[in-house]
Amino acid sequence: MKRRNKIMCIIVVTCLLLLSGCWDQVEIELRATIVGLAIDQADHHEIEEDYITHPEYRSANIEGLYKMTAQLAVPGQVALGPEEGAEGGAVDDNVWIVEGYGYTIGDAIQSMQQKLAHELFFGHLQVIIVSEEVAKEGLATIDDYFQRRNEIRRTVWLAVAKGDAAATMAVSPKLEQIPAIYLSTTLDHAVELGKFPEKRLGDFWVNQKSLGEEAMLPYIEVHDNNIRMSGMACFKGAKMVNLIEPYQVVIYNAVTGFNPSGANIMFPIDDGHILAMSRNRDVEYQIKLDKGLPKIDLHVSVDAEIREKSAFAIEINRAEDVERLNHHTEKIMEKDTKLFLQHMQQNQIDIFGFGERVRAKLPQYWDKHVQTNANWQQLFSQITININYDINFERIGIKSD
């Protein structure tokens, strides 16, 4: 009998545990759901301060001031699917733009919260955009706030905007009801098309803690009520220090072996040009010590296809013509890659993760001579990096000449 009672108690307790799954539920209409967030620097004369988290005398010696611009989804206004015969609501009907100011990120968030009836919710946040000015000052305080919030997903996009980051929250795209989701989708598709590496918020945090790889973030700008991808912002620690152009991103993807491919690059040949698209990339690394320093040899294999040629005189219909094109493009890519690597070495910015590979391949050397990220970035400027390309044009299109 006692055994039976124990079994019944266990069953009842288990059922009670299963029934407690919705104890902390909050209706969606009672949440202020942020889908996009922009962070800019602000001046004191721009606002009338509303001392929410501190008295006035404490802010006398504080210089920095953040402007936060949040894009909130309006419940009930966003359609779950296309409606037949309907044109869809205006962007202003689907989102609500709210601003807040503060000396820290949390202070600015509380400034926004004062203007809302419901609690701010970050669980559906899609993008965080920081201005170039903020990025160059450093993102350490911004990281601290978001790393402490458990509802912030590490897959959120973090990007740097040229000029005013708040302008990205005012863009009204025709292809999406919510601008922040359109921007997130744009970044997703750029990765799928092989134009940009996948560098999200979580990747940024990981790279900041890395001993042998610096962080990068997408660099965007507002252009004619649309978002343009303009390269990648390079960081040292939490501060933006450099910018690489879109064509250099293609080289970065080749050096790191990032797939999927799909990026296009133009090559001069025979008084004309060809436009080539990579289809697949593969990289082999050889790392060894040479005269007391690490030496890195890279062999990059690229399968490509011809998308366009600008001159009729460019011959590509014979096997020997394609082989000549292979060698010609290999030399150009080797030259451009060497220039790019030299530029990054001169600035002591290892965005390629060479340091992590050296650390894995030569652990004893690393522990004795390197040890820290600062030491590696200095050593990175001194090491020898050789690059060799093997480009194979597998397709020339359905046109034979």
Instruction: Report all structural domains of the chain as residue ranges with CATH numbers, in order of start.
Output: 29-78+89-244 (no CATH), 247-395 (3.30.300.210)
State the average pLDDT over residues 42-62.
Answer: 62
Provide the 10 A C-beta neighbour count for residue 351: 21
- Give the pLDDT score at 30: 67
Mean predicted lDDT score pLDDT of the chain = 85
State the average pLDDT over residues 249-277.
Answer: 88
State the average pLDDT over residues 246-259.
Answer: 91
28: confidence class by pLDDT, cuts 50, 70, 90:
low
Asked which of 68-82, 170-184, 242-256, 275-289 is least confident by mean pLDDT, the reply is 68-82
Can you read off the two tokens belonging to residue 112? Answer: 């926004």
Res 81 pLDDT > 60? no
**Range list of β-strands (E), 245-348:** 264-269, 272-290, 293-309
- Give the pLDDT score at 87: 47
Q: Is 217 helix (H, G, I), strand (E, B) or coil?
A: strand
CA 235 to chain centre: 12
Q: Are 67 and 39 in contact (CB under 8 A)?
A: yes
Q: Are 104 and 145 in contact (CB under 8 A)?
A: yes
Q: How far apart are CA 194 and CA 271, in angstroms?
A: 29
Q: Is 55 helix (H, G, I), strand (E, B) or coil?
A: coil
Res 85 pLDDT > 60? no
Largest CA distance in the chain: 96
- Residue with tokens 């890519």, as numbered in its chain: 333
Percentage of residues in the chain having pLDDT higher than 70: 85
Q: How far apart are CA 339 and CA 377, in angstroms?
A: 18
